[in-house]
Amino acid sequence: MREYLLTLCVAAAVTYLLTGPVRKFAIAAGAMPEIRARDVHREPTPRLGGIAMFGGLCAGLLVASRLDNLSDVFKLSNEPRALLSGAGLIWLLGVLDDKWGVDALIKLGGQMIAAGVMVMQGLTILWLPVPGIGAVSLSPMQSTLLTVALVVITINAVNFVDGLDGLASGMVCIAAIAFFMYAYRMWFGYGMENAAPATLFSAVLIGMCLGFLPHNIHPARIFMGDSGSMLIGLVMAASAISVTGQVDPAIITNSTGSVRDAVHAMVPVYIPLLLPLTLIAIPMADLVLAIVRRTWNGQSPFAADRGHLHHRLLEIGHSHSRAVLIMYFWSALIAFGTVAFSARSSSLWILLVVVALSAVGLVVLLLPRFRPRVPAWAESFVPPRYRHSARRAARAAAREEGAGSGTEVDPRLEAEAEAAVQAALKENPAAVAGLHGATAIGDRSRLPDRRQVSGAR
């Protein structure tokens, strides 16, 4: 475990330290695209953050190859080299796309080539453990097609979810932590040495995401771009493929005594193939809804709009940071719930906890739609968005009445109302602008000019 932690820390440190110089390089290279209509940021932000993440990947693998125990992974398996080869190709493609833009079909072809390179070097799914049947061997063609499909789907899922500051890196980090937990359990719990590469890949991926996240949280100073999103998607897919297709079911069969018991014991091995799909579930649902919505409105399915999931979270009243945290919560619930179920599939407590947390998540998700009346004595203990509804409307009406009658406006009331507006805008700009714009912002234009007030005095 100490060697894994060291590898994780090295990958995180190198990624973190490289991100600053990479940001300056991206600005100098002009990798700062114009703001599009569907973007949520308001200032041009440099891309190419994937350069720093690729540096963290290389540093983590290099350190791991020099450690006493982890060096055996490089001696007994060709998977680290296969990962590095595929990652190098997909990273180069992403850098070109971040700087000059690459056609979607060309990117798809590059993703398939990177996946094919890993398959040629042995990183592929050899068999699938099917509950009730046993281990089903795959033909070379089936193995290649399934491996390439999993890599391409995972890469595009991560790329699609990269819509808010810190969203993709945080969600992948959560999935990688869950991946590391059961891969480590398969190695040391069942003595499967073939699970060591997947454990190593997950540790390095956690370090890459943690090192980049401080630079990418809202407001982001740099974006990972396609060079980063496709890279971490490929590393996560490689972890799933390694632990799913390389672990020998005969090892568990010998320890459990029967094939049926071995199949049930191999649920932790079978589920890794599903974990990338749990990350894809929400983005894919959003993609399907976007295609239906655009087609229904007579638009092209590839036309950009502001109807994606993160846009909807902002529109219903969530702040940028809260929308990201909500998606973190659901990602963690699905990932860790899957891992817990794989370890204790017969436990009823796991199901009850997941259901309870899902209910909490739904309440938080719908919270902006509920605006309770907070007593005056409790206003200092709640966020500004719950304080101002009735009181701000009364102040705005009083200011409007004072402006119409020509009487003097109390400067203290005006300053207090202005401070409340600014605090609420800082807390939740979308909700305040949409729900209270008429009372908080629009009425401000009808206030008497400060110079007129001082002249009347």
Residues 283 and 384 both lie in one domain: no
Q: Which of 161, 129, 122 is nearest to 144 (CA)?
A: 122
Coil, strand or helix at 106: helix
Give me the domain span that covers residue 403. 380-456
Q: Which of 352, 49, 52 is nearest to 223 (CA)?
A: 49
Residues 172 and 271 both lie in one domain: yes
Q: What is the pLDDT of residue 215?
A: 94
Q: What is the pLDDT of residue 325?
A: 86
Q: In the listed set 252, 267, 301, which residue is the last one of a domain according to the structure?
A: 301
Q: In the listed set 264, 280, 301, which residue is the last one of a domain according to the structure?
A: 301
Does residue 341 lie in a domain region? no
Residues 30 and 133 both lie in one domain: yes
Residues 273 and 157 both lie in one domain: yes
Does residue 328 lie in a domain region? no
Does residue 307 lie in a domain region? no
- Tell me: cis bond preceding 219? Omega within 30 of 0 counts: yes
**Per-residue pLDDT tens digits of the chain, which is 457 residues long:** 889 999 999 999 999 999 999 999 999 988 887 665 555 556 778 989 999 999 999 999 999 999 988 998 998 889 999 999 999 999 999 999 998 888 888 999 999 999 999 999 989 888 776 656 666 778 889 889 999 998 998 888 888 778 788 888 998 999 899 889 888 887 776 667 778 898 999 999 999 999 999 999 888 889 999 999 999 999 999 988 887 766 655 555 555 555 555 555 555 555 656 666 665 666 666 667 767 776 777 776 555 556 666 666 766 767 777 888 888 888 888 888 878 877 776 678 888 988 999 898 888 877 765 555 666 667 666 656 556 554 555 556 656 655 554 544 455 555 555 555 555 555 555 444 444 444 433 444 434 443 333 344 3
Q: Which residues are annotated as a binding site?
A: 159, 226
Q: Which residues are annotated as a binding site for Mg(2+)?
A: 159, 226
Q: How many CB atoms lie within 10 A of CB 326?
A: 18
Does residue 52 lie in a domain region? yes
SS3 string of 99-119? HCCCCHHHHHHHHHHHHHHHH
Does residue 368 lie in a domain region? no
Element (H, E) at 222: none
Q: In the listed set 301, 323, 339, which residue is the last one of a domain according to the structure?
A: 301
Q: Which two structure tokens, joined as six digits, stand for 437? A: 């714009």
Residues 287 and 393 both lie in one domain: no
Does residue 315 lie in a domain region? no
- CA 312-317-320 angle, to 5 degrees, is 75
Question: Which residues is 128 bridged to in the sheet?
Answer: 136
> How many structural domains comprise the chain?
2
Determine the residue type at 268.
P
Does residue 362 lie in a domain region? no
Residues 149 and 43 both lie in one domain: yes
